[in-house]
Amino acid sequence: MGVFSKTCEYGIRAVLYIAHRTTDGSRVGIKEIAAAVDTPESFLAKILQDLSRKGVIQSIKGPNGGFFLETPSLQRPLADIVKALDGDEVFSGCGMGLTQCSEKNPCPLHKEFKKVRNQLAHMMTTTTIGQFNKELLKGTLSLKK
């Protein structure tokens, strides 16, 4: 088990792919996306459908349709993808699974785990969906395997 679910891993990869492939208002189809980020096509379709319903990405049906990102969407943090797919437990939950864990009623790991959580949250909220576009176009960053 990684930090994020498979659903979320696939989602992040797909959204970053869509971001750098559609800067010009064009759209990209599920087949191409799934191949490019190496995920099961119909499972990814469900995930993108979900992200589209939640407004993280945009989509249009029919010929020349597909998935794309409106310009403002490129400024959104990656954390939005995670929250949409996995919820925000990973950013706020107790490391040992205690629901009542807090400053007043801390678990043994509370203080230290909070630092890690916060660093993860900070990283995912300051990183935007669009910020890797140049490097993805250059091919210096990978989205598959």
DSSP assignment of 27-73 equals: -B-HHHHHHHHT--HHHHHHHHHHHHHTTSSEEE-STT-EEE--GGG
Site for DNA in 49-108 (CB under 7 A): 49, 52-53, 59-67
Question: Contacting DNA (CB under 7 A), which of 26, 35, 38, 40?
Answer: 40
Tell me which residue has tokens 């910020």.
131
Q: Which residues of this chain interact with its own copies, rule CB under 8 A?
A: 1-6, 9-10, 12-13, 16, 78, 86-87, 89-90, 93-101, 105-109, 112-113, 115-117, 119-120, 123, 127, 132, 135-136, 141-145
103 binds, among DNA, its own copies, none (CB under 5 to 8 A by kind): none
**3-class state of residue 124 by DSSP:** helix
Q: Is the dihedral of CA 1, 136, 67, 36 positive or negative?
A: negative
Binding site for DNA (CB under 7 A): 1, 5-7, 10, 27-31, 39-43, 45-46, 48-49, 52-53, 59-67
